[in-house]
Amino acid sequence: MKGLDERLKQIFVELTSINAVSGEEAPVADYITAFAERLGLTCQRDNAYELSGGNTGNVIIEILGGGDFLMASHMDTPRPIAGLRRQFLEDRITSDGTTPLGVDDRAGLSSILYALENAVRDGVLEPCTLLFTVCEETTLAGSIYFIPKPQLKYGFIFDSYLTPGHFVSQTCGAINFEFVIKGKSAHAGISPEKGINAIKVAAEAITKFPFGWVDEVTNANIGSVAGGKNTNVVCDEVHMKGELRTDFVSHGDKLMTNILKDFNDVCHNYGATMESKYFWDFLPYNITADDLPFKHFAQIAASLGLEAVPKKSMGGSDANALNAKGIKTINLGVGAQNPHGNDEFILYEDFQKASLIAYKLLTTKFNK
């Protein structure tokens, strides 16, 4: 399969002509709303902007009462795609290398909308809910804010770099933390002994931090360190930001407690202090072969001649937030490869398969 359906191509071009990073998704929301209304469907928008601080809420389409499962993708891109110049090569779509392609997640959006248009045309829609979220790339604010109807039991996210047929059934959770080490300023040339150098304190504390893989299900990182103003001033404050990722909440909390103790002990030894805060950015989940989304997708994949292959990921998505709400959800591969880079691409074959999966989910009754 070398070619790409012209209508799918057109929808993707239209969506990637809209520059909308996290918090600025209103033009994409307007596009989806107009698209659905032309098909005779009714859209709702919630107030997710109250949490995201952005310019629109999530777009929600309840088809034939909304059903018991949802299909979702996000409306934001992680980086601007203004000035995008697409290249339609022999087997794939890329940018010209100067901007991202926006395939994360405009490929997921395009697949769902293309499938929706075809399903309405064919008159074969089954009940389900479509959810298009804001700020997935930054805070998951859209899926965190989303208030599901009690009937919704499980879901599918169209947002993975995996090839169609593969899906994320398990992820870690992530703790975000911020530390501020506070020393004491003094003149570095005249009386350095009167100060407490926060950079020195931070440097020693950082040597105790468990960078990289802590064990087979846990890794840790400090990704940002900032402090100091002038060369002749003993630095009085250093700010650090980082994260822990692990499969188990109790394990993450215990590791965080140990890190805090190590850092505070170093600060105490120097007469410095530390302010800290941390929170679970997203929680882990694990969908098994006995769960509804796994069973449903396996049935859909088989009908298309695909093998349903579960994978674990160390990344987060809207699926984490939905699972935390009790909506068992998996993240489906759409083939959006090298996401977030200027070398993003999607193969025509994968794009077509992702849209077929969306069509089958929209039109096939699931035999539970």
Q: Model confidence over 101-113: pLDDT tens digits?
A: 999 999 999 999 9
**Mean confidence (pLDDT) of the chain:** 97
Element (H, E) at 86: strand 86-88
Q: Is 343 left (phi over 0), alpha (psi -120 to 50) or beta?
A: alpha
Question: Which tokens go with 214?
Answer: 């802590």
The reply to whether 277 falls in a domain is: yes
The reply to whether 368 falls in a domain is: no
Q: Is 357 left (phi over 0), alpha (psi -120 to 50) or beta?
A: alpha
pLDDT tens per residue, range 238-275? 999 999 999 999 999 999 999 999 999 999 999 999 99
CA 332 to CA 337: how far, in whole Å?
13
278 and 288, same domain (yes or no)? no
- Picking from 156, 131, 125, 162, the residue whose alpha carbon sits closest to that of residue 353 is 162
- Name the least confident of 107-111, 220-224, 322-326, 338-342: 338-342
60 and 84, same domain (yes or no)? yes
CA 200 to CA 220: how far, in whole Å?
22
- Picking from 85, 92, 86, 87, the residue whose alpha carbon sits closest to that of residue 3 is 92
Name the packing angle between helices 348-363 and 292-303 (round to 10°). Answer: 120
Q: Please report, for the domain that includes residue 29, its CATH number.
A: 3.40.630.10
The reply to whether 65 falls in a domain is: yes
What is the DSSP annotation of 157-220? EEEESSPBTEEEEEE-EEEEEEEEEE-B--BTTT-GGGSB-HHHHHHHHHTTS--EEEETTEEE
158 and 303, same domain (yes or no)? yes
Confidence of residue 2 (pLDDT cuts 50, 70, 90): low
User: For residue 125, is pLDDT > 60?
Assistant: yes
Count of structural domains within the chain? 2
Mean pLDDT of 139-160: 97
CA 66 to CA 82: how far, in whole Å?
35
Mean pLDDT of 81-106: 96
**Hey, which residues does 309 pair with through a beta bridge?**
166
pLDDT at 1: 43
Confidence of residue 368 (pLDDT cuts 50, 70, 90): confident
| Farthest-apart Cα atoms in the chain, separation | 82
pLDDT at 111: 98
CA 28 to CA 16: how far, in whole Å?
10
187 and 242, same domain (yes or no)? yes
CA 74 to CA 29: how far, in whole Å?
10
60 and 206, same domain (yes or no)? no
144 and 183, same domain (yes or no)? no
CA 341 to CA 361: how far, in whole Å?
30
User: For residue 309, is pLDDT > 70?
Assistant: yes
The reply to whether 1 falls in a domain is: no
Opening angle at CA 32, ends 28 and 36, nearest 5: 170
Is the full-model pTM beyond 0.75?
A: yes
Mean pLDDT of 160-172: 97
Which of 282, 300, 335 is at the close of a domain?
282
Q: What percent of the chain has pLDDT over 90?
A: 98
The reply to whether 34 falls in a domain is: yes
**3-state secondary structure at position 125:** coil
pLDDT at 3: 78
Domain hosting residue 137, numbered range: 6-172+284-363
User: For residue 175, is pLDDT > 70?
Assistant: yes
342 and 224, same domain (yes or no)? no
Mean pLDDT of 84-101: 96
Which of 259, 282, 305 is at the close of a domain?
282
Q: Please report, for the domain that includes residue 230, its CATH number.
A: 3.30.70.360
